[in-house]
A and B are shown apart, each in its own frame.
Chain A
Amino acid sequence: MSKKLYVARSPRIAARMLGEEMLVMAGQGSTLFTLNPTATVLWQAADGATPLDEIVERRICSEFEVKPEEALRDAEALAEDLAKHGILLISEEPIASHSIPSQSVANKSRVQEQQQP
């Protein structure tokens, strides 16, 4: 793809970190997804303002050992897949921030492994 792509978290989804995984419930279909670490990073960085290629360069390539071109190709496919399930919004223009849910609490709720009695 030659044009810049912008991605934003859908306002219709519910999300929470459970251990190291991100749980996402997509809107009214009540379908539950578990995002892998790469998808979690993409979802967390999807603020509607940062282009996808910048997210890939700054967040994905820095955290995972992968070449930028390959990472961008995979990220585009992943973003489209997440958009198909209503988890992400994709646009060729920046996406207004008022429609994007906060991800700070969803991230904070990482919990330490705690043994039940």
Chain B
Amino acid sequence: MREMSDRALRLGVPLSVQLDLTYRCNEQCVHCYLDHDDHGEMTTVEIKHLLKEMAEAGVFILTLSGGEIFMRKDFFEILEYARALTFCIKLKTNAVLIREAQAARLRDLGVESIQVSIYSHRPEVHDAITKVPGSLRRSINAIRFLKSQGLKVIIANVLMTENMQDYHGVRALADELGTESTLDPTVTPMMDGGRSTLDLNAGESALRTLFREETFVGDVDEFCALPPAPDENSMESLPCSAGHTACYVSPYGEFYPCVQFPLSCGNVRQQRFIDIWRNSEQLKEVRSIRLRDLSSCSQCAHGSTCTRCPGLAFMEGNMRGPSTADCEKSFARTGIPSANLLAKKQNPSVPRLVQIQLVPAITGSRLSHMGASANALGA
């Protein structure tokens, strides 16, 4: 996989794309970063056209996500078309609309994997997070249908204040169901810049506990080791695949480096996918950034080992700045505060967050063109 990514990077190929088919959802999760109203999703024809362009551009791994993908009545039509174009398809879903028939169809279409969101093994906790009574039972039933078809299922959990006692239970549930599982320790800001979801982050103490559990992090000593001083190689390293071999397209056709990086690079309703990928000034800027260019992080002890997310940094106001959520993770791992945390301690202020705004309608189906503006909240 690494070799394939390196080759794609060398060739300038967008190897992996996440396409959100809709932001509509049948769950209303407390930590969700999306506005669930439909502001003018791409039509079936528009999506098929985009898929063809993406295949021609060399996209191999296609993640279909949302919102809830099964809220689209044309979901299987889109999936069938995507498989005919020989994409490797990964799905992200809450699975509550999957029954035996849907599971069988997913198997027939050769889907690579299905990621299902499960936040607790206890219905009272999971259903309180999704705000849908009975949702845990329905998701688990769906996982059983999917497994009975021989499909690969990954349970995806997010650590937050509401469920921080339950991640062992979710892992045990995954074992019982025969699935893989992941645990994301970060709740992100809303895509529109709202910060209310950040209050749900589990906090430093919970992270410190989690990072010392071998079953989740592997070798604890290695995971929590003091960071080596950044060398020349790490100074030249790329932050992540966003904009380099991967990108994200919203249901409205907006093109971003990553689902967590709401820097608008163009819209596939107005430009060809490959033209945005090759020519977007925003993407060129993202691609130009190396560790040595980061104002605070290049001076930080964690520089070579930090999981800094450039998208979260962008949402804090500066794509060359730190991502505080990752500073907190580095601190929880090692006990050493990052350069950013030290600076904040000396000069506390409200973090800046980029505001993503709906811009006025262009024409007809272009109603919901979303663009990142330079407006910032806070100081």
Given contacts A17-B58, A102-B85, contact A117 B287 (CB under 8 A): yes
- Considering residues B56, B58, B87, which has the most beta carbons from chain A within 10 angstroms of its beta carbon? B58
- The answer to whether A109 and B58 have CB atoms under 8 Å apart is yes
Bound form: Cα–Cα A41–B7 in Å: 21
Contact of A28 among B52, B112, B244, B284 (CB under 8 A): B112
Given contacts A14-B60, A32-B1, contact A106 B110 (CB under 8 A): no
Given contacts A14-B110, A18-B60, A30-B152, contact A105 B86 (CB under 8 A): yes
Given contacts A12-B110, A16-B86, A27-B110, contact A106 B55 (CB under 8 A): yes
CB distance from B102 to the nearest CB of A (A): 16
For the complex, would chain B's binding face be called helix, strand, loop or mixed by DSSP majority? mixed
Q: CB-CB < 8 A to B9: which residues of A?
A: 116
- The answer to whether A30 and B113 have CB atoms under 8 Å apart is yes
Asked if B84 is at the interface (CB within 8 A of a chain A CB), the reply is yes
A-B contact count (CB 8 A): 92
Asked if B218 is at the interface (CB within 8 A of a chain A CB), the reply is no
Closest to B62 in A: A14
Chain B positions 1 through 39: 1 when the CB is less than 8 Å from some CB of chain A, otherwise 0: 100100111111101000000000000000000000000
Q: CB-CB < 8 A to B8: which residues of A?
A: 18
CB distance from B191 to the nearest CB of A (A): 27
Interface residues on A, range: 20 to 34
- The answer to whether A111 and B58 have CB atoms under 8 Å apart is yes
Contact of B4 among A27, A32, A103 (CB under 8 A): A32
Bound form: Cα–Cα A17–B9 in Å: 14
Given contacts A105-B52, A105-B55, A105-B56, contact A18 B84 (CB under 8 A): no
- The answer to whether B4 and A23 have CB atoms under 8 Å apart is yes
- The answer to whether B58 and A18 have CB atoms under 8 Å apart is yes
CB distance from A24 to the nearest CB of B (A): 9
Q: CB-CB < 8 A to B110: which residues of A?
A: 11-14, 27-28
Bound form: Cα–Cα A115–B288 in Å: 12
Asked if B125 is at the interface (CB within 8 A of a chain A CB), the reply is no
Given contacts A18-B4, A18-B60, contact A111 B11 (CB under 8 A): yes
Chain A positions 1 through 26: 1 when the CB is less than 8 Å from some CB of chain B, otherwise 0: 00000000001111111110101010
- The answer to whether A116 and B83 have CB atoms under 8 Å apart is no
Asked if B133 is at the interface (CB within 8 A of a chain A CB), the reply is no
Bound form: Cα–Cα A66–B52 in Å: 36
Q: CB-CB < 8 A to B83: which residues of A?
A: 11, 101
- Considering residues A11, A28, A114, A115, which has the most beta carbons from chain B within 10 angstroms of its beta carbon? A28
Asked if B335 is at the interface (CB within 8 A of a chain A CB), the reply is no
Q: CB-CB < 8 A to B52: which residues of A?
A: 105
Q: CB-CB < 8 A to B59: which residues of A?
A: 16, 109
**4 tightest A-B CB contacts, nearest first:** A14-B88, A114-B12, A12-B110, A16-B60
A–B complex contacts, Cβ < 8 Å, 29 sampled: A12-B110, A14-B86, A15-B86, A16-B86, A17-B58, A18-B4, A18-B13, A18-B15, A23-B4, A23-B60, A25-B60, A25-B88, A28-B112, A28-B151, A30-B112, A30-B152, A32-B4, A34-B4, A101-B84, A102-B86, A105-B56, A106-B55, A109-B55, A109-B58, A114-B12, A116-B10, A116-B12, A116-B287, A117-B288
Q: Interface residues, chain B, CB within 8 Å of chain A? A: 1, 4, 7-13, 15, 52, 55-60, 83-89, 110, 112-113, 150-152, 244, 278, 284, 287-288
Q: Interface residues, chain A, CB within 8 Å of chain B? A: 11-19, 21, 23, 25, 27-28, 30, 32, 34, 101-103, 105-106, 108-109, 111, 113-117
